[in-house]
Amino acid sequence: MLDSDLRTMIDEVKDGRMDRRGFIQRMIAFGLTAPMATQILAVGGVAMAQSPATYPPTKRGGGGPLKLLWWQGPTLLNPHFATGTKDQDASRIFYEPLASWDIDGHLNPILAAEIPSLQNGGLAADAKSVTWKLKPGVKWHDGKPFTADDVVFNWEYSTDPATAAVSIGTYADVTVEKVDDLTVRVLFKSPTPFWANAFVGAYGCLIPKHLFAEYKGAKSREAPNNLKPVGTGAYKFVEFKPGDLIRGEINPDYHMANRPHFDTIELKGGGDAVSAARAIIQTGEYDYAWNMQVEDEVLLRLEKGGKGKAVYAVGGDIEFIAVNFTDPNTEVDGERSSIKTKHPILSDPKVRKALSLLVDREAVQKVIYGRAGRTTANYLNGPGPFVSKNTTWEFSVEKAGKLLDEAGWKPGADGIREKDGKKLKLLYQTSTNGPRQKTQAIVKQACQKAGIDVELKSVIASVFFSSDVGSNDTYAKFYADIEEFQIPMTQPDPVLLMRRYHSRYVATKENKWQGSNFPRWVNKDYDAAIDAAETEIDPVKRAAFYIKCNDLMWQENVMIPVMHRIKVGAISNSMRPVMSGWANDLDNIQDWYREATG
């Protein structure tokens, strides 16, 4: 039975798109007994400890070429400089972290000999340090041994501000020390229950000290190996053309048995998502394509050809509409949307509640996202233990109208509501992106029915998401009433996702709008819960704090969730990728294989 299919089905059962009986019947059709099928379901639903991915190949190599198609071409190959997932993926082909996140959001050891735990003494009881044991005998592609010095060096390299590393955020708050040649210790300033950030996942990829030591700091850009990676990964570097092509070949000395399966790897970049889907699903020129931001309808049509299909991985990425709590139209001390102001319309909880009743999530899913989205009432959608079950959502123009009536907004002559002679008019901004403009249209229509006049605005992504202080169109300045975008969850822990809305991170002119709390929502209970959660070691209590945070956001309607987005890739039929909603697509590249076609 195909692993990814099975997973998709289990997920379908989990959120009710397929019933248990249907699932079991399909399993029986594949030759499984009913009790076995039930067990699969139980295992799939309950998180397991370290699930090893099934990996049938019994020898290294022999899988032929692996051809990947990324519709944005990777532009650099140093994991510490990787700004986007495309560059992180490209670096990951050659470089490896100590551990990566697997399908279920558990750690899978890569360069680590084992995953630190309280039992094996890797984790300190006070949660102030973590000790990693490194796998012995690992060699860089040039034959030099991989040791604790390399690990410590990566921390030094990244945290040197002159290096201008992007990964500095991951390493700045920790100290790393060498214990012996194969042991390193990561020290935290305060108890840190989520310890698996440094050296794990995309920004955890390690570069060799012997080749980069000279290029730490201001000379970082000059390192010849920025473009010619020498890593520990399953594939060795052959060729790189920025924005176009990366080629690699099998690493015959790879440190995991029988891996990798493919003899060569090629990552072609550029083009657009639809034609990438076509090159895999319809013509079979390539084996795997990433980030299929293609309407489900198109994918379904392409899949009819039978050469390939779309695959899904559930993580915690959330597309939402954020509500501005401050007034975007009044200037205070040279700053609009200042924390000193209150939004004239949206500071009323009833209006916010009405707004959330007007987002027809089911229509958005049906029309736009299809299999790539799930409706949700929560801002925090994973992993399982952190997901609130106390919340609900509904779409009702009537109820919204009633709430607006209660709030004093009465329908005017032109159908637009007004109060004290002021019209109920909102500016709704987002980045330029097909699905987002469609969502805007759906929400606008519902709002119009309820008597809210919504003005739509879309800003090109490179401006909307920039940290350009000179531009008034950034999401952080939030010079609009509501705005929509997506925040991805790059690891299976809510700490970074939820911390953003602590009142100490409010975006203001003073901090050059670098604060991550862009709705400028201030809530003492929320702050207290976040502070408590960040040092809480008991996992159950910690989860309860985050659930409380989520529920507070839901009650207050700070964020109106639009869609819990699911990662979509396209594969040719025989490909068996290991995709995780909690990691980048290539984070488990060593485990990919192709099913022998008979």
Helix (H, G, I), strand (E, B) or coil at 175: strand
CB 440 within 8 Å of CB 430: yes
Q: Does 83 bind other proteins (CB under 8 A)?
A: yes
Binding piece for other proteins, criterion CB under 8 A, among 103-111, 275-283, 444-452, 528-536:
275-283
| Nearest residue to 562 via CA among 430, 417, 424, 389 | 430
- Positions 18 through 47 that interact with other proteins (CB under 8 A): none
Numbers of helices and strands, H then E, in the chain: 17, 23
Nearest distance from C-beta of residue 507 to other proteins, angstroms: 8
Nearer CB in complex with other proteins: 239/406: 239
Alpha-carbon distance 528 to 545, whole Å?
9
Nearest distance from C-beta of residue 99 to other proteins, angstroms: 15
CB 103 within 8 Å of CB 190: no
List of E strands, 254-387: 264-269, 288-289, 308-313, 318-323, 373-374
User: 161: cis peptide before it, omega within 30°?
Assistant: no
143 C-beta neighbours (distance < 10 Å), count: 8
Alpha-carbon distance 125 to 164, whole Å?
34
Nearer CB in complex with other proteins: 4/429: 429
Q: Give first-to-last CA distance, the chain, whole Å.
A: 15
Binding piece for other proteins, criterion CB under 8 A, among 138-146, 168-176, 436-444, 580-588:
168-176
Q: Does 594 bind other proteins (CB under 8 A)?
A: no
Nearer CB in complex with other proteins: 170/376: 170
Helix (H, G, I), strand (E, B) or coil at 527: helix
Nearer CB in complex with other proteins: 69/549: 69
Alpha-carbon distance 218 to 155, whole Å?
16
Applying CB under 8 A, among 270, 408, 415, 539 the residue interacting with other proteins is 270
Cα dihedral 23, 28, 29, 32 sign = positive
Applying CB under 8 A, among 234, 497, 533, 571 the residue interacting with other proteins is 497
Binding piece for other proteins, criterion CB under 8 A, among 96-104, 270-278, 379-387, 538-546:
270-278
- Positions 200 through 219 that interact with other proteins (CB under 8 A): 202-203
Applying CB under 8 A, among 221, 301, 366, 504 the residue interacting with other proteins is 221
Nearer CB in complex with other proteins: 129/170: 170
* Sequence-distant (≥ 6) Cβ neighbours of residue 400 within 8 angstroms: 354, 355, 357, 358, 446, 450
Give me the residue label for tokens 């532009």: 75
Pairing of strands 107-109, 417-419: unpaired
- Positions 403 through 442 that interact with other proteins (CB under 8 A): none
| Nearest residue to 130 via CA among 171, 187, 83, 176 | 187
Residue window 507-536: x/- pattern of binding to other proteins, with contact defined by CB under 8 A: -----xxxxx--------------------
Applying CB under 8 A, among 415, 462, 504, 541 the residue interacting with other proteins is 462
Applying CB under 8 A, among 213, 298, 367, 496 the residue interacting with other proteins is 496
Binding piece for other proteins, criterion CB under 8 A, among 1-9, 238-246, 292-300, 578-586:
238-246
Binding piece for other proteins, criterion CB under 8 A, among 82-90, 174-182, 208-216, 332-340:
82-90
Alpha-carbon distance 188 to 193, whole Å?
10
Specify the DSSP element, H or E, that contains 576.
strand 575-576
Applying CB under 8 A, among 4, 8, 226, 388 the residue interacting with other proteins is 226
User: Which tokens is 299 given?
Assistant: 């994918």
Nearest distance from C-beta of residue 465 to other proteins, angstroms: 3
Residue 247: burial class (beta carbons within 10 Å; 0-12, 13-18, 19+): middle
Q: Does 503 bind other proteins (CB under 8 A)?
A: no
Binding piece for other proteins, criterion CB under 8 A, among 6-14, 158-166, 249-257, 354-362:
158-166
Q: What is the DSSP letter of 293?
A: -
User: Which tokens is 398 given?
Assistant: 């009537």
Alpha-carbon distance 32 to 4, whole Å?
17
311 C-beta neighbours (distance < 10 Å), count: 23
Nearest distance from C-beta of residue 232 to other proteins, angstroms: 22
Count of residues that interact with other proteins, criterion CB under 8 A: 74
Nearer CB in complex with other proteins: 295/348: 295
Nearest distance from C-beta of residue 194 to other proteins, angstroms: 12
Applying CB under 8 A, among 437, 486, 555, 574 the residue interacting with other proteins is 486
Alpha-carbon distance 79 to 91, whole Å?
5
Alpha-carbon distance 7 to 103, whole Å?
9
Nearest distance from C-beta of residue 424 to other proteins, angstroms: 30
Applying CB under 8 A, among 94, 409, 475, 501 the residue interacting with other proteins is 475
- Positions 96 through 135 that interact with other proteins (CB under 8 A): none
CB 307 within 8 Å of CB 570: no
35 C-beta neighbours (distance < 10 Å), count: 9
Q: Does 463 bind other proteins (CB under 8 A)?
A: yes
Binding piece for other proteins, criterion CB under 8 A, among 8-16, 120-128, 262-270, 396-404:
262-270
Alpha-carbon distance 381 to 385, whole Å?
10
Helix (H, G, I), strand (E, B) or coil at 558: coil
User: Which tokens is 229 given?
Assistant: 């990676």
Alpha-carbon distance 28 to 11, whole Å?
18
- Positions 43 through 72 that interact with other proteins (CB under 8 A): 69, 72
Nearest distance from C-beta of residue 130 to other proteins, angstroms: 17
Applying CB under 8 A, among 219, 241, 340, 541 the residue interacting with other proteins is 241
| Nearest residue to 369 via CA among 569, 559, 565, 561 | 565
Nearest distance from C-beta of residue 81 to other proteins, angstroms: 6
Applying CB under 8 A, among 271, 344, 384, 412 the residue interacting with other proteins is 271
Applying CB under 8 A, among 170, 338, 365, 430 the residue interacting with other proteins is 170
Binding piece for other proteins, criterion CB under 8 A, among 405-413, 465-473, 524-532, 569-577:
465-473
Helix (H, G, I), strand (E, B) or coil at 305: coil
Nearest distance from C-beta of residue 362 to other proteins, angstroms: 25
- Positions 276 through 305 that interact with other proteins (CB under 8 A): 278-279, 282-283, 285-286
Binding piece for other proteins, criterion CB under 8 A, among 131-139, 235-243, 395-403, 412-420:
235-243
Applying CB under 8 A, among 168, 298, 528, 552 the residue interacting with other proteins is 168
